[in-house]
Structure 1
Amino acid sequence: MTGRTDNAVLGILISIVALVLFDLMGLIIKAMSVRYGAAELSAYRNLFGLVPSAVALWMTAAWRRGDRSLRMRQWRLAVGRGLAVTLAQLLFYMSLGLMAFATATTISYTTALFTTALAVPLLGERVGAIRWLAVAIGFVGVVLIMRPGTVDFAWVMLLPFGASALYAYTGVTARLVDEGVPTPLFNLYSSGAAAVGSVVLALALGGFTPLASWQDAGMILLMGIFGGSAVLCLVISFRMTEPSNLAPFSYFGIPIAFVFGWVFFDEAPFDTLMPGALLIVGGGLMIVVRERRLRRGGGA
Structure 2
Amino acid sequence: MTQSGSVARAIAISLVALVLFDFMGLIIKHLSAEYSAPELSAYRNIFGVIPSAIALWSSSDWHRGGRRLRVRQRSIVYLRGVIVTFAQLMFYLSLGRIAFATATTITYSGALFTTVFAVLILKERVGVVRWSAVLVGFVGVLMVVGLGRNSFTWDALLPVGAAVLYALSSVTARLVDEDVPSALVNLYSTAFAVVGSGLLAFFLGGFSPIHSLSDFLWIVAMGGLGGTAVLCLVISYRMTEQSNLAPFSYFGIPFAFFFGWLFFGEAPIRDLFPGAVLIVISGLMVIWRERHLGRSARASLRMSEADK
- d(CA) in 2 for partners of 1:295 and 1:37? 43
Partner residue of 1:58? 57
Letter matched to residue 204 of structure 2: L
Q: 1:3-42, aligned counterparts within 5 Å?
A: 7-42=6-41
- d(CA) in 1 for partners of 2:227 and 2:56? 14
Residue 243 of structure 1 pairs with residue 248 of structure 2: no
- d(CA) in 2 for partners of 1:115 and 1:79? 19
The gaps in structure 1 that reach 5 residues or longer are none
**Superposition deviation, residue 275 in structure 1:** 0.6
Of all paired residues, the percent bearing the same amino acid is 60
Partner residue of 1:163? 162
Partner of 2:294, secondary structure, is helix
- d(CA) in 1 for partners of 2:5 and 2:119? 30
The answer to whether the 8 Å contact 1:143/1:276 transfers is yes
Note the aligned Cα RMSD (angstroms).
Answer: 1.4
Partner residue of 1:231? 230
The answer to whether the 8 Å contact 1:52/1:231 transfers is yes
* CA distances 1:185-234 after superposition (whole Å, capped 9, x unpaired): 11111111111100000001010000000010000000000000000111
- d(CA) in 2 for partners of 1:180 and 1:145? 39
Partner residue of 1:254? 253
Letter matched to residue 282 of structure 1: I
- d(CA) in 2 for partners of 1:62 and 1:91? 33
Partner residue of 2:302? none
TM-score w.r.t. the length of structure 1 is 0.95
Partner residue of 1:84? 83
Partner residue of 1:290? 289
Q: Which runs of 4+ in 1 moved over 4 A?
A: none
Letter matched to residue 89 of structure 1: Q
Letter matched to residue 16 of structure 2: V
Partner of 1:7, secondary structure, is helix
Q: 1:262-281, aligned counterparts within 5 Å?
A: 262-281=261-280
Partner residue of 2:201? 202
Partner of 2:121, secondary structure, is helix
**Superposition deviation, residue 27 in structure 1:** 0.2
* CA distances 1:24-77 after superposition (whole Å, capped 9, x unpaired): 000000000000000000000000010011001100123234432211111111
**Superposition deviation, residue 177 in structure 1:** 1.1
- d(CA) in 2 for partners of 1:73 and 1:248? 33
Partner residue of 1:172? 171
Partner residue of 1:98? 97
Partner of 1:151, secondary structure, is coil
Partner residue of 1:138? 137
Letter matched to residue 214 of structure 2: Q
Letter matched to residue 206 of structure 2: G
- d(CA) in 1 for partners of 2:236 and 2:182? 14
**Superposition deviation, residue 271 in structure 1:** 1.1
- d(CA) in 1 for partners of 2:60 and 2:132? 41
- d(CA) in 1 for partners of 2:141 and 2:68? 44
The answer to whether the 8 Å contact 1:146/1:152 transfers is no
Q: 1:114-133, aligned counterparts within 5 Å?
A: 114-133=113-132
**Superposition deviation, residue 9 in structure 1:** 1.0
May I ask how many residue pairs the two structures share in their alignment? 293
* CA distances 1:64-105 after superposition (whole Å, capped 9, x unpaired): 344322111111110100110000000000000000000000
Partner of 2:16, secondary structure, is helix
Structure 1 residues 62, 294: CA separation in 2 closer, same or farther (over 3 Å shift)? Answer: closer
Letter matched to residue 95 of structure 1: S
Structure 1 residues 245, 192: CA separation in 2 closer, same or farther (over 3 Å shift)? Answer: same
**Superposition deviation, residue 263 in structure 1:** 0.4
